[in-house]
Amino acid sequence: MGQRGWKVKIRDRERLETPHVTLLYKTRAWRFGLRSETFLDTESDPTEVPKDVVDQVLASLARPPSTRVGPHVPGEPDFIGRTRG
């Protein structure tokens, strides 16, 4: 993705928004919800994001939670709906 100018940023410190990644291309940005697996914005057209970029994001979400980077928050559901203790 990086070779073609695409970047993916994880935005997990924004307390008032649903967990999401931001897909960046040059000066454009699209927010992609981690729980809903849908685009969150209406002003940036999701059809402008190549399918293989979205597929790579979804593939990384399909990895087991133990291989992901991020803080463990007790009682918060993980990405597949189980509550972590």
DSSP per-residue codes, 32-75: EETTT-SB--SSS-GGGS-HHHHHHHHHHHTS-GGGS-S---TT
42, part of any domain: yes
20, part of any domain: yes
85, part of any domain: no
82, part of any domain: no
The DSSP secondary-structure symbol of 4 reads G
Phi, psi at residue 26, to the nearest 5°?
55, -115
At 23 the pLDDT is 93
- What range defines the domain where residue 23 resides? 2-67
Domain count, the chain: 1
56, part of any domain: yes
74, part of any domain: no
63, part of any domain: yes
pLDDT, tens digit, 9 for 90 and up, residues 31-79: 998 888 899 988 889 999 999 999 988 888 776 655 555 555 555 555 5
78, part of any domain: no
pLDDT, tens digit, 9 for 90 and up, residues 8-38: 888 667 778 888 889 999 989 999 988 888 9
Q: Are 78 and 84 in contact (CB under 8 A)?
A: yes
